[in-house]
Amino acid sequence: MLYALLLFAAAYILMLVFDRYRPWIALGCAAVFLLTGMLPAGKALEYIDFNVLLMLAGIMGTVELVIRSGLPSLLSDLLVSKVPNVKWATVALSVFAGLVSAFIDNTATVLMLAPVAFAIAKKQGVSPVRMVIAIAVSSNLQGAATLVGDTTSILLGGYAGMDFIDFFIWRGRPGIFFAVELGALASVGVLLVLFRRESAPVEAGARTVVRDFVPGVLLAATVLLLIFASLFPRRPTLTNGLICVGVMLLGAVCHALREQKAGELLVPLRGVDWQTVLLLTGLFLMIGGITEMGVVDAAAGLLANMDGGSLFVIYSALIWGSVVISAFIDNIPYVATMLPVVRTLALGLGADPTVLYFGLLCGATLGGNLTPIGATANVTAIGRLRKEGWTVTNRDFLSIGIPFTLAAIVPAYLYLWLVYG
């Protein structure tokens, strides 16, 4: 287990230091796990979330068509006409990203709104880096608000027997949705402070003429289909991914017919950031390696032993420990591992596990905002910026991610204990 932990830690340090080579570092680390047998070859595919990869590629392809249609530029024109400066444009986009990602996958939200940020930044002659990062962390925040907001929410719902409404009202008390919204409200204040110097006025010029509304309709259809699919708890594993890829292929056909060129069928594929896909594949395999070697279980056990016989101590250790752990490892296997631990701890104390369930979900979801590689949405946002020719330093991300996370988690931490402690 020690060797697996050291390899994993070394890979993450290298990815933080050599950010341009993250996909190759992750894949190299995954190869070591496989070659040494720490990750059995027969189990490797089980740890790769093909649903996420397909969804990512499909959304990227559709978004490429949307960008070419001119629709993001039109949205930026409309937004610019309603806000006085870049600061408020950033806040407006971030708030909107949060609202959307409470019901739609965070990665999809980033892919849909990043082009709008690029269009605004281009027109105003400013860097889109901080704006896109703000969109990413805002979308991550809202993932815990509803049952369909994030994979970890779905895990909790299935384990605790919660449905969509239970995230709003649970046993007659306001649910986790309101804890997340309190955090979101506090995070808006943080964004206003962080972007206080972005006072350059935004000037509304002539509105962009959209060349083709079909890609926009297809993107909206993707959103609606993802919501509809979430209503079926026993749906096939690859449902969301196949929906996104299917819509992308339909968009490719429509685009080729409109342009009357067979070669245009490949346009959506050019919009896929394959380096991001490779990075996520490597990360999935790395997580599989440390899971097989017992590192995730050991982390869960460490938190379990920090109880002190007090529910409040358990709750505090769980939520803050989850924030730190999820900043560096994928929160899906972590949450899946910790759910039975949480239940056991609560039963041992004769307590209702709700506060621990919700604390685990909040901590694991928001912790991803601490680092550039702590959440898929962050990886995707940085990938989109890189594709547009912008370099994102660790300082760029951490200067937003750390204060944003603290502002969001503290109100949620206090709220959950007051309501369910």
Q: Decide if 405 is inside a domain.
A: yes
Residue 170: strand, helix, or coil: strand
Instruction: Determine the Cα–Cα distance for residues 46 and 40; give it in Å rounded to an integer.
Output: 10
Q: Decide if 40 is inside a domain.
A: no
Question: Which residues lie closer than 8 Å to 159 by C-beta, 6 or more apart?
Answer: 339, 340
- Given a contact cutoff of 8 angstroms between Cβ atoms, the answer to whether 53 and 241 are in contact is yes
Amino acid identity for residue 18 in this structure? F
Q: Write the DSSP symbol of residue 146.
A: S
Q: Which pLDDT score is estimated for 206? A: 65
Q: Write the DSSP symbol of residue 264.
A: G
| DSSP character string of 5-25 | HHHHHHHHHHHHHSGGGHHHH
Tell me the pLDDT tens digit for each residue of 268-310.
Answer: 888 888 888 888 888 889 888 888 888 877 766 666 666 556 7
Residue 4: strand, helix, or coil: helix
- Given a contact cutoff of 8 angstroms between Cβ atoms, the answer to whether 140 and 377 are in contact is yes
- Given a contact cutoff of 8 angstroms between Cβ atoms, the answer to whether 123 and 205 are in contact is yes
Q: Decide if 262 is inside a domain.
A: yes
Q: Decide if 35 is inside a domain.
A: no
Residue 173: strand, helix, or coil: strand
Q: What is the largest CA-CA distance in the chain?
A: 71
- Given a contact cutoff of 8 angstroms between Cβ atoms, the answer to whether 22 and 279 are in contact is yes
Instruction: Determine the Cα–Cα distance for residues 416 and 310; give it in Å rounded to an integer.
Output: 16
Domain that holds residue 147: 45-272+370-409
pLDDT band at 387 (very low <50, low <70, confident <90, very high): confident
Q: Write the DSSP symbol of residue 200.
A: P
Instruction: Determine the Cα–Cα distance for residues 25 and 279; give it in Å rounded to an integer.
Output: 8
Tell me the pLDDT tens digit for each residue of 21-34.
Answer: 888 998 999 999 99
Instruction: Determine the Cα–Cα distance for residues 311 and 184; give it in Å rounded to an integer.
Output: 26
Q: Decide if 383 is inside a domain.
A: yes
Q: Decide if 120 is inside a domain.
A: yes
Instruction: Determine the Cα–Cα distance for residues 181 and 142; give it in Å rounded to an integer.
Output: 8
The owner of tokens 């796990």 is 33
> In 3D, which of 411, 390, 410 has the Cα closest to residue 117?
390
Tell me the pLDDT tens digit for each residue of 84-140.
Answer: 888 888 898 898 888 888 877 787 788 878 888 888 888 778 889 999 999 999 988
Mean pLDDT of 251-255: 89
Token digits for 216? 């926009």
- Given a contact cutoff of 8 angstroms between Cβ atoms, the answer to whether 362 and 179 are in contact is yes
Q: Which pLDDT score is estimated for 154? A: 76
Domain count, the chain: 1
The owner of tokens 């506090």 is 186
Q: Decide if 5 is inside a domain.
A: no
Q: Decide if 394 is inside a domain.
A: yes
Q: Which pLDDT score is estimated for 204? A: 63
pTM: 0.73
The whole-chain average pLDDT of the chain stands at: 85
> In 3D, which of 401, 396, 392 has the Cα closest to residue 323?
401
> In 3D, which of 133, 152, 207 has the Cα closest to residue 400?
133
Amino acid identity for residue 171 in this structure? R
> In 3D, which of 355, 382, 375, 296 has the Cα closest to residue 106?
375
Mean pLDDT of 34-63: 86
Taking CA atoms, 159 is separated from 113, 153, 168, 215, 354, in Å, by: 32, 10, 17, 38, 12
| DSSP character string of 328-350 | TS-HHHHHHHHHHHHHHHHHHHT
Question: Which residues lie closer than 8 Å to 62 by C-beta, 6 or more apart?
Answer: 215, 218, 219, 222, 244, 247, 248, 251, 268
Higher pLDDT, 262 or 416: 416
What share of the chain has pLDDT > 90, as a percent?
24
Higher pLDDT, 396 or 111: 396
